[in-house]
Amino acid sequence: MSESATTMGRDEPLFLAFLNQHDDHDWRRVVNSLLPSIHEVDRAATEIWFYFFPLALLHALEQSDEPERLISKLSLSGKYLLKEQIDSSHEFFYGHRFWAQVKGAVATLAGSTSAPVSLDLATQIKDVADKVSSELNVDASLVVGITAVAFMTLQQTGAIAFKASPGTVSKQLNKSPQQILRDRAADDRQGLFSLFQPDKIFSITFNENNPDAKFRLINTQHLTTAAASDKRDHYSRDPRCVVGEGPIPVECRSAACGTCWIGILGGNDKVSDVGELEWRKIRDFGYIDTDEPRPIIRLACQTQAYGNISIVIPPWNGVFGRFLRAQQDTTEEHNPAV
């Protein structure tokens, strides 16, 4: 485990001291170990959420002598701090509906001075999920992902802010996990004359809890190009959105700004592979570092779709990857043993 940048006082509860020993690399291993225990409906959502809210970004801001200058340097825009969205950052989870109960259980653990810290983090997450699912009489696999989110949210916001949030749950559609998975897998019907149509039309969902949160895409279009056909007022919901350009924040459409990053909840088998430009730029922005041909984090301006897909739009954007690498190089230079 790696030492957290968060200062730990002598009177800090034992569990929080244990939790603060974990960094993003530790959490990546924890999430990967949990994935088989997470229901398919929230498996991608869990991975996406942890890419949306990296600890390293919070630590960089906490350690900076001039955080406002760093925010400008990293071109941070939107809501990048979890403390501003404790109850809402995970609305795209099916398990969001269990948030109040999960949050209560984790808050109780946070105040404990005798938490079983001899257990590894993944085991503790599953133990809390088992307890909450038993009380709610639901399958534990539906609770594991949102419980992992609660643990990380506690680590990033601290016990006082975490406990103070009301635990409000946004309205969820009355669908079973199986219905949601079927909806993600299905494509729009093309009609009787589809064989004579040169371009098929598909739907891109950007909020599964809102039946109107969709825009149309012509087969093989890039997501931002298709989104621009949606002329509704998205700026009022998210000031990062450009008026007349749709629900995905976008500034350049050439992978230069990084504004249009998204997570793919469903239909990842119906999008184009990552090209060389996107592969390089997405690392520069710090959003994901992977060799997968179709990762769940993408730049929408570089991603083509060949069917219906469901996406999640993160609440912030910036350029963080190069900063992280520079920090790592400095650390290694001063401490070759790292």
Q: Domain with 311 in it: what CATH number? A: 3.10.20.30
| 271 bridge partner residues | 305
Q: What's the pLDDT score for residue 5?
A: 37
25-78 pLDDT, tens digit per residue, is 999 999 999 999 999 999 999 999 999 999 999 999 999 999 999 999 999 999
User: Where a domain ends, among 119, 135, 164?
Assistant: 164
Residue 84: inside a domain: yes
248: left (phi over 0), alpha (psi -120 to 50) or beta: beta
- What total of structural domains would you count in the chain? 2
Instruction: Determine how β-strand 261-266 pairs with β-strand 309-312.
Output: antiparallel
Q: What's the pLDDT score for residue 11?
A: 47
Q: Are residues 83 and 53 in the same domain?
A: yes
Strands (E), the chain: 77-78, 201-205, 214-218, 261-266, 297-299, 309-312, 316-317
Tell me the two tokens of residue 199. 């371009």
Residue 2: inside a domain: no
User: Where a domain ends, among 131, 164, 197?
Assistant: 164
Q: What's the pLDDT score for residue 119?
A: 79
Residue in 75, 264, 100 with CA at minimum distance from that of residue 184: 264
Q: What's the pLDDT score for residue 126?
A: 97
Report residues of the chain scoring pLDDT below 70. 1-12, 113-118, 192-198, 328-338
Q: Are residues 21 and 148 in the same domain?
A: yes
Q: How far apart are CA 63 and CA 51, in angstroms?
A: 21
User: Where a domain ends, among 142, 164, 186?
Assistant: 164
Residue 172: inside a domain: no
Residue 206: inside a domain: yes
Q: What's the pLDDT score for residue 169?
A: 97
Dihedral of CA atoms 14, 17, 22, 23 in degrees, nearest 10, equals 160
Q: Are residues 104 and 244 in the same domain?
A: no
pTM given for the model: 0.92
Q: What's the pLDDT score for residue 327?
A: 75
Q: Are residues 66 and 206 in the same domain?
A: no
- Specify the 3-state DSSP secondary structure of 54: coil
Residue 146: inside a domain: yes
Q: Are residues 189 and 294 in the same domain?
A: yes
Instruction: Determine how β-strand 201-205 pairs with β-strand 309-312.
Output: parallel
Q: Are residues 47 and 79 in the same domain?
A: yes
Q: Are residues 158 and 184 in the same domain?
A: no
Q: Are residues 245 and 139 in the same domain?
A: no
Provide the residue range defining the domain that includes 70.
14-164
Q: How far apart are CA 80 and CA 76, in angstroms?
A: 8
Its sign, for the CA torsion 73, 77, 83, 84, is positive
Residue 335: inside a domain: no
Q: Are residues 24 and 116 in the same domain?
A: yes
Q: Are residues 152 and 199 in the same domain?
A: no
Q: Are residues 182 and 312 in the same domain?
A: yes
Tell me the two tokens of residue 186. 């299905």
| 312 bridge partner residues | 263
Q: What's the pLDDT score for residue 226?
A: 98
Strands (E), 88-205: 201-205
The Cα-based distances of 213 to 86, 132, 234, 334 in angstroms read 23, 31, 10, 50
Residue 316: inside a domain: yes
Residue 31: inside a domain: yes
Q: Are residues 31 and 152 in the same domain?
A: yes
